[in-house]
Amino acid sequence: MRKEEHQTSRPQVRGVEDRRRPAHGWGRLLVAFFALVGLVIFVPALVALIREPSQDPVVGVINVVAGLLYLLLAVCVAHNGRRMRIVGWICLTALLTGAVLLGVVTAAGLAPDLESSVWLDGGRHLWFVPLVAPVVAGVWMWMSDPRRIVVRAERQDR
């Protein structure tokens, strides 16, 4: 008897229809772009770090971390959740801060051994992608922020 009472006292769960349109187009291309950039940076850096650990270990670790940050950024751009957006903004901040700091350090000649860094001269040997990509991601994340879109739609309704 108790089982029957317990089963009937549960509120009925109503099915929810997801009417959001699927993500196609620029968003998916951007995710693929960041994943590709992350792999292009991460894989060679990891291979070099494993094969020759004594040759520029600091630069190798910096490049591995940069590659991982780009891969994490790809995941964060793909998700629309609040927590993943926070992680994405942290990745962007870390990538841009790393680019600026390492650019200043190498330009000042304080660390000449950073010659094989991803961010050497703003990422010149990678067509400036390591410097421009976080800016593009920041613009995309700001433009596609669900909270900002809802606030803007509510203002238009008034």
Residue in the structure block whose two tokens are 């000649």: 109
Residue extents of the structural domains in the chain: 29-150
Name the CA radius of gyration of the chain, rounded.
22
Cα→Cα distances 58→30, 109, 115, 119, Å: 29, 16, 11, 13
Per-residue pLDDT, averaged over 128-141, amounts to: 84
| Per-residue pLDDT reduced to its tens digit, 1-38 | 555 555 556 666 666 665 656 556 778 888 999 999 99
Residues 34, 136 contacting (CB under 8 angstroms): no
96 confidence band (pLDDT: 50, 70, 90): confident
DSSP 125: G
89 confidence band (pLDDT: 50, 70, 90): very high
Neighbours of 15 (CB within 10 A): 4
Q: Who has greater pLDDT, 61 or 17?
A: 61
> Mean of the per-residue pLDDT values for the chain?
78
pLDDT on residue 126: 73
Whether the predicted pLDDT of 68 surpasses 80? yes
pLDDT on residue 53: 77
112 confidence band (pLDDT: 50, 70, 90): low
3-state secondary structure of 27: helix
CA distance 50 to 57: 10
Cα→Cα distances 158→66, 144, 147, 150, Å: 45, 22, 17, 13
pTM: 0.74
